[in-house]
Amino acid sequence: MKTIAKLFAWTLGIVLCIVLGLYMTGYGYVFKGVRVVYMTGHDTAFIDDYPYFDNRTIENETPDPLPKHPDYNTAEIPQKLKETHETYGTVSYLIFKDGKLWHEDYADGYGPESHTNSFSMAKSITTLLLGKAIEEGFIESLDQKVVDFFPELKGEFAEQLTVGDLSSMASGLNWDENYYSPFSITAQAYYDKNLRELMLSLAVDEQPGQEFNYLSGNTQLLGMVIEKATEQHLSHYLSEKFWKPMGMENHAYWQLDSEESGMEKTYCCLSSNARDFARTGLLVLNKGLYNGQQLLNEDFIEKCIQPRFEKDPEYGYGFWLEEIGGRPFFVMQGILGQYVIGDPEKNILIVRLGHERESKSNTAVFPADFYEYLNGAYEMMRKGS
């Protein structure tokens, strides 16, 4: 009995030392990650995780129902597309033709009002807010320096960094985009309680504005710039400039680092529904025009969906890019296969939300499932026309 008691005491002591060590070294956020992910039966972040975090509401006002195409939901879903939906857990799949809802499908208990996590699609939305802040004079241009807002920014090249560098993923920031280590800064940003402090602990240690390097920290710092420039919470600014004027059907939620700090995770984590995410894509497809209102400058939209760097054609400002069949596409993309895909030449928009995606190919811009959702949509339209 004494041996068991000693063993228990030793085990408890070791556990306490580990816990204390994690907190003392700044890794206490790991316990929140364990609680949110593993103790809810998951092995990674998941699309319904927003209730486990503090959130700020993005208010809508008067819902404006989406117009439906005369051929709404008349086309049959191809077998290959059905299999892709089932394999990767698609919960929402929408197709728009000429601005009208042509196809709409939900699964797994989800529906038009279901809120799910945008993940990195929020990066595109944050860049649209940047465009609005420039248009309204809060920020001078894409070339304005970040040190104008945060003179304490560290690093050899800090004074060269512009807001455009942040939006186009060309910052030189010493951020490690690692999704698998619980001790990476990416994991810390997701679960820690003070993003402003975390971001300002980093340094710009490579020359910015030279090449594309996808870092979530870029958009988080960009969000901090917009917040400081406008003197508004990002959720309120988004509500007033886009959510309300666009007649979004539901309010949305933007995850915060904590209630005390109150900083939106602008690199991710805006929870909304497929129809309202689609409206954001339609705004871009229509070059900033929505329901007769020019909500965002057309030139800014055009700049967003053109590559900044010729050698890195897969990214513009806040948007992923791809050329398929000789046509340019813009894409809002989240890590679990959240996609808003725009085809400006054909005036087509495709939205897919779901639980998983295929592992990324070494040669293609997007994971294999992306191309299946795209090909399936065009096959439906060919057969349904």
Claim to verify: residue 259 and residue 236 sit in the same structural domain: yes
Q: Does residue 27 sit in the same domain as residue 76?
A: no
Q: For residue 65, what is the DSSP state?
A: P
Strand partners, 92: 106, 353
Residue in 195, 150, 152, 146 with CA at minimum distance from that of residue 175: 195
Residue 125 belongs to some domain of the structure = yes
Which positions ≥6 away from 127 have C-beta within 8 Å? 167, 219, 222, 304, 317, 318, 319
Q: Is the residue at 197 inside a domain?
A: yes
Radius of gyration of the chain (CA): 22
65 — phi, psi (to 5°)?
Answer: -55, 140
76 and 171 in a single domain? The answer is yes
124 and 26 within one domain = no
CA 200 to chain centre: 21
Q: Indicate whether 244 and 374 sit together in one domain.
A: yes
What HEC string does 272-317 produce?
ECHHHHHHHHHHHHCCCEECCEECCCHHHHHHHCCCCECCECCECC
Token code pair at residue 214: 């996808």
Domain contains 185: yes
Report the CATH number that the domain containing residue 333 is assigned in CATH: 3.40.710.10
Look at residue 374 and tell me if it is in a domain: yes
Q: How far is CA 104 from CA 63, 87, 127, 340, 384, in A?
A: 18, 19, 27, 14, 14
**305 and 182, same domain (yes or no):** yes
- The answer to whether position 72 is within a domain reads yes
Q: How far apart are CA 341 and CA 330, in angstroms?
A: 6
User: Does any domain span residue 235?
Assistant: yes
The span from the CA of 218 to the CA of 169, in Å, is: 6
Give the model's pLDDT for residue 55: 98
Assess whether 269 and 333 both reside in one domain. Answer: yes
45 in any annotated domain: no
Question: Do residues 128 and 35 share a domain?
Answer: no
Taking CB atoms within 8 Å and a gap of at least 24, the contacts of 226-230 are: 226/126, 226/129, 226/130, 226/133, 226/138, 226/139, 226/266, 227/263, 227/264, 228/149, 228/150, 229/133, 229/138, 229/139, 229/149, 230/133, 230/136, 230/138
Predicted confidence at residue 14, as pLDDT, reads: 43
Task: Tell whether 67 and 209 lie within a shared domain.
Answer: yes
Distance CA 200, CA 196 (A): 6
> For the chain, what is the domain count?
2
122, 146: one domain:
yes
Read off the pTM: 0.92
Among residues 67, 66, 77, the alpha carbon closest in space to that of 384 is found at 77
Question: Which residue type does 35 have?
Answer: R
CA distance 323 to 326: 6
Owning domain of residue 31:
2-40
Residue 68 resides in a domain: yes
Q: What is the pLDDT along the chain (385 residues), one digit of tens a residue?
A: 555 555 544 544 443 443 344 444 445 576 676 788 777 888 788 999 999 999 999 999 999 999 999 999 999 999 999 999 999 999 999 999 999 999 999 999 999 999 999 999 999 999 999 999 999 999 999 999 999 999 999 999 999 999 999 999 999 999 999 877 777 899 899 998 999 999 999 999 999 999 999 999 999 999 999 999 999 999 999 999 999 999 999 999 999 999 999 999 999 999 999 999 999 999 999 999 999 999 999 999 999 999 999 999 999 999 999 999 999 999 999 999 999 999 999 999 999 999 999 987 667 899 999 999 999 999 999 987 6
Give the start-end residues of each E strand in 13-162: 55-58, 90-97, 100-106, 116-117
Q: Is the CB of residue 50 less than 8 Å from the CB of residue 255?
A: yes
Neighbouring C-alpha atoms within 13 Å toward the C-beta of 165: 23
Between the two ends of the chain, the Cα-to-Cα distance in Å is 78
The answer to whether residues 110 and 116 touch, using CB atoms and an 8 Å cutoff, is yes
Whether residue 243 sits in one domain with residue 140: yes
